[in-house]
Chain A
Amino acid sequence: MSNYHQKSIAYCFGLMAFAVTGSSRADEFTDADLQRYQQQFMATVAEGRELWISPKLGSNGVACAQCHPNAANTHPETYPKFQKQLGKVVPLWEMINWCLRNPLEGQPLAADDPKMTALQAYVTYERRGVKLEPGKH
């Protein structure tokens, strides 16, 4: 190996060592951070719950909670899955949109709409602990 090569390899290692031991570390977080993150999540879950019982999501006053108390029978752990009458495999948010359009006679939400995120946060939170079974009918 040439002298030049040896030097460049040494420099590379040096760089990596510096990265590992230096004060600018990779994504590190403390207990306090974890608590804060969890609170922010739970705030979104709470928003989702508000939407869940709200008569204003659709146009006819029907709320998600009327048919899905505590988000039961939504089965978020089974998505994505084939939904027969959507004709394709869909993730959870597309199914939520089907409900918004049909029983609630309202408008669908974009996948990244904060309301959609909140709804999904609530639905999955109420189903926490259930193992994933994507595709299950």
Chain B
Amino acid sequence: MRYIVLLVLGMTAFFTHAQSVNKQSSEIATANPQSNGTANQSGENNLLGLPSVPIPANNPQTPAKIELGDKLFHDKRFSVDGTVSCAKCHDDKLAFTDGMAVSVGHNGLTGTRNAPTVLNAAFNQFQFWDGREPDLEGQSKQPLINPVEHGLAKYEPILKIIRTDSYYPAAFQSVFGISSEKVTIDHVAKAIASFERTLVSGDSPFDRYYFKGQSDAMTDAQIRGLNLFVNQGRCVSCHIIEKDQALFTDGRFHNIGIGINQIQQDIPRLTKAFLEAKNKGGNVDVMVLSDKKSSELGRFAVTDELSQIGAFKTPTLRNVELTAPYMHDGSLLTLKDVMIHYNNGGVTKSGDRVNDFLSGGIRPLNLTDAQLEDLVAFMKALTSSKFSPKDASPAPTQAANRKRNSL
């Protein structure tokens, strides 16, 4: 009898050992779910939750270029009346937006679109709400010559300022190896884009909860909100979360019933007129920003595809708490308004007529008010712990240091 007991004990001991080996290796696996980016001096990982920043081969990052781009980004002289720099609508202190429904350019002129944040724009496959530029370089050139933004007729005034400035000629020489006579707007664009590529920030409470397994990083409401986000709310269909990173955008264009609902009757006339104007050589950038109704056509204005009428780019949700008001026309003032709009299935006021071109993914969600509040709470878990440039660039730059000292 004793020996049967021995046998049984022996086998038990064997199995327990095997299990503990398994447990150990799985613990190791979860301890390092991902390790994107390098930890900064304080030991935090600012890129937690983000992939590495895509850098185009023809525009590598250097500290000098970033510093130059920073200066260009903040230079108000690059406008018709000397008051508009990129930072006017993409204000460092307002998470690189301007807190307004639609932006205001020179002489108080308004456009039709809400200024998107520059934070994490480096990850976008398309820039602008309608995706009309494929990269940061291309985007940076358009507002300069838009009649309601910087208001310049052409780039020459900018290049003149650069040539005669006290700082720029030496900077361009050092960065691009060219004399100031040879500087083109593309050099300017490259420098600005380089600077913008340092404006990336992850490491939000969500990132720490989801990718680092810190179960106390989010509140209970936020955890419920995350659950709704990926299940009943269907948000994750377009605001992508993946296993080891979360960009919160699919990079696609969808009609979710904002803005277009007001012009439903006008669509036949507008699409026809738009196509005719384009045939005659009209410029999309000018047309969409100067005419509110045309602006609502969205991606259609760029691709002429009927199936993209009223479709706009899915923006990232990172730092969304700081970038009110919301949507391409800034028409939704609070995050709760946003949730209500989605819950209604693509209309802001419940019972309104859904527009015919609504994206297939949008439908009434039947969420309760408490659930909508949970989703709003979750949105607040997406704010980066830091988003100042100093943490994202490879080495601290003089400009960043100056900014830090002045805060």
Interface residues of A (CB under 8 A from B): 8, 11-12, 15, 82, 84-89, 101-102
Contacts of B234 in A (CB 8 A): 102
Task: Give the nearest-CB partner of A11 in chain B.
Answer: B3
Contact A89 B240 (CB under 8 A): no
A21 to chain B minimum Cβ distance, whole angstroms, is 17
Contacts of B4 in A (CB 8 A): 15
CA A6 – CA B351 in complex, angstroms?
A: 87
Contacts of B243 in A (CB 8 A): 82, 87-89
Decide: A8 near B3, CB < 8 A? Known: A86-B230, A101-B232.
yes
Contacts of B246 in A (CB 8 A): 87
> Which of A15, A85, A102 has its CB near the most chain B CB atoms (within 10 A)?
A85
Task: Give the nearest-CB partner of A89 in chain B.
Answer: B243
CA A84 – CA B240 in complex, angstroms?
A: 8
State how many residues of chain B have any CB contact under 8 Å with chain A. Answer: 15
Contacts of B242 in A (CB 8 A): 82, 84, 87-88
Contact B237 A101 (CB under 8 A): no
Task: Give the nearest-CB partner of A98 in chain B.
Answer: B231
CA A89 – CA B232 in complex, angstroms?
A: 18
B236 at the interface (CB under 8 A from A): yes
Contact A15 B240 (CB under 8 A): no
Decide: A15 near B7, CB < 8 A? Known: A86-B236, A89-B243.
yes
Interface residues of B in 234-258 (CB under 8 A from A): 234, 236-237, 240-243, 246
Contacts of A84 in B (CB 8 A): 240, 242
The contact of A87 among B3, B6, B241, by CB within 8 Å, is B241
Decide: A12 near B3, CB < 8 A? Known: A87-B230, A102-B234.
yes
CA A85 – CA B246 in complex, angstroms?
A: 12
A80 to chain B minimum Cβ distance, whole angstroms, is 12
3 nearest A-B pairs in the assembled complex, by CB-CB distance: A87-B241, A11-B3, A85-B237
A121 to chain B minimum Cβ distance, whole angstroms, is 25
Contacts of A88 in B (CB 8 A): 242-243
Known A12-B7, A15-B4; 10 more pairs at CB < 8 Å = A8-B3, A8-B6, A12-B6, A85-B236, A86-B236, A87-B230, A87-B240, A87-B243, A88-B243, A102-B234
CA A12 – CA B11 in complex, angstroms?
A: 12
Task: Give the nearest-CB partner of B240 in chain A.
Answer: A87
A18 to chain B minimum Cβ distance, whole angstroms, is 11
Contact A85 B240 (CB under 8 A): yes
Task: Give the nearest-CB partner of A84 in chain B.
Answer: B240
B210 to chain A minimum Cβ distance, whole angstroms, is 10
Contacts of A86 in B (CB 8 A): 230, 236
Interface residues of B in 1-26 (CB under 8 A from A): 3-4, 6-7
A105 to chain B minimum Cβ distance, whole angstroms, is 9
The contact of A101 among B7, B231, B241, by CB within 8 Å, is B231
B26 to chain A minimum Cβ distance, whole angstroms, is 15
Contacts of B237 in A (CB 8 A): 85
Contacts of B236 in A (CB 8 A): 85-87
A83 to chain B minimum Cβ distance, whole angstroms, is 10
Interface residues of B in 202-244 (CB under 8 A from A): 230-232, 234, 236-237, 240-243
Task: Give the nearest-CB partner of B232 in chain A.
Answer: A101
CA A15 – CA B6 in complex, angstroms?
A: 12
CA A115 – CA B377 in complex, angstroms?
A: 35
CA A85 – CA B231 in complex, angstroms?
A: 10
Task: Give the nearest-CB partner of A105 in chain B.
Answer: B363
Contact A15 B232 (CB under 8 A): no
CA A18 – CA B97 in complex, angstroms?
A: 80
Contacts of A85 in B (CB 8 A): 236-237, 240
CA A87 – CA B4 in complex, angstroms?
A: 51
Contact B230 A15 (CB under 8 A): no
CA A82 – CA B242 in complex, angstroms?
A: 9
A4 to chain B minimum Cβ distance, whole angstroms, is 11
Contacts of A82 in B (CB 8 A): 242-243
CA A82 – CA B240 in complex, angstroms?
A: 13
B317 to chain A minimum Cβ distance, whole angstroms, is 13
CA A86 – CA B3 in complex, angstroms?
A: 53
